């Protein structure tokens, strides 16, 4: 089993700088809730980083363009978290569900059924 996290953001330095500015100046309109939950303005959220490090579940992270290059036939609304098992992708948390999560602790609580770590 592998958890796949797909951000509603494109890859690349230029896009990263744009996203950073957007989060800094207009965080309520930032389009990637997964980014907002797992990253602070300039770096990965410390609580989330610890959660990842203490987890035995395989976790893979993609920007939307990277995911679409890797899985060209998969069509989803981003951000999204998927579970890959035996080459089948299943939705763990949809964009709609992620948008309802208020903080990183809420995300970790939602993910605990797929991991070995209690938040």
Residue with the bigger pLDDT between 13 and 56: it is 56
Residue 19 pLDDT class (50, 70, 90 cuts): low
Average pLDDT score over the chain: 84
> How would you label 81-94 residue by residue, b for 16+ Cβ within 10 Å and e otherwise?
bbbeeeeeeeebbb
Residue-range domains of the chain with CATH:
2-114 (3.40.30)
Instruction: Give the integer Cα–Cα distance in Å for 23 and 31.
Output: 9
Single pTM value for the model: 0.83
pLDDT digits (tens, 9 = 90+) for 22-58: 555 555 655 678 988 998 777 889 999 999 999 888 9
Residue 91 pLDDT class (50, 70, 90 cuts): very high
């Amino acid at each position: 089993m592998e958890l796949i996290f797909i951000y509603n953001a494109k890859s690349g330095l230029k896009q990263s700088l744009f996203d950073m500015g957007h989060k800094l100046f207009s965080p309520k309109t930032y389009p990637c809730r997964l980014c907002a939950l797992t990253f602070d303005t300039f770096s990965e959220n410390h609580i989330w980083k610890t959660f990842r490090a203490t987890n035995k579940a395989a976790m893979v992270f993609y920007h939307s363009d990277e995911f679409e290059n890797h899985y060209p036939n998969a069509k989803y609304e981003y951000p999204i978290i998927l579970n890959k098992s035996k080459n089948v992708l299943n939705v763990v948390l949809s964009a709609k569900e992620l948008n309802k999560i208020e903080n990183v602790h809420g995300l970790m609580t939602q993910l605990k059924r797929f991991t070995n770590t209690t938040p």
